[in-house]
Amino acid sequence: MKWYHYIAAFFAGVFLCNGIPHFVNGVSGNAFPSPFANPPGRGLSPAFMNVGWGFTNLLVGYILYKVSKVSWEYKLGLAVFSIGVLIMGVVIGNYFSSKMVY
């Protein structure tokens, strides 16, 4: 793998991980913070907006995943992809935990 495949693998993990909570909350009919809320990232966006934002993240993540050529054959690329998922998961988990009030 070339160096840019590793960058694509990392960001594929980031985008795929970020797309999950937005898409799941959107299809569940829940308002959820997004960059399009007022204020951005702090206010709640309607469900349809989160479906679109989540889908966009999933699509970009998928494209980057295909570009990165991540596979079981390239263990380092798979590790870089996994690190992207893990870092984004920790960051958004920490961020959204302070935003959600039940």
Instruction: Classify residue 2: in a domain, yes or no.
Output: no
**What is the model's pLDDT at position 96?**
80
Tell whether 102 is covered by a domain.
no
C-alpha separations of 33 from 19, 73, 83 in Å: 12, 38, 24
- Of 1, 4, 2, 16, give the one whose Cα is nearest residue 87: 16
CB 47 within 8 A of CB 29: yes
How many domains are there within the chain? 1
| Predicted pLDDT at 100 | 55
Q: Is residue 56 part of a domain?
A: yes
Residue 101 counted as domain residue: no
Which residues of the chain register pLDDT less than 70?
A: 99-102
| Structural domain includes residue 1 | no
Cα within 13 Å of Cα(64), Cβ side: 24
Instruction: Establish if 11 belongs to a structural domain.
Output: yes
> pTM to 2 decimals?
0.88
Q: Within a domain: residue 83?
A: yes
| pLDDT of amino acid 53 | 96
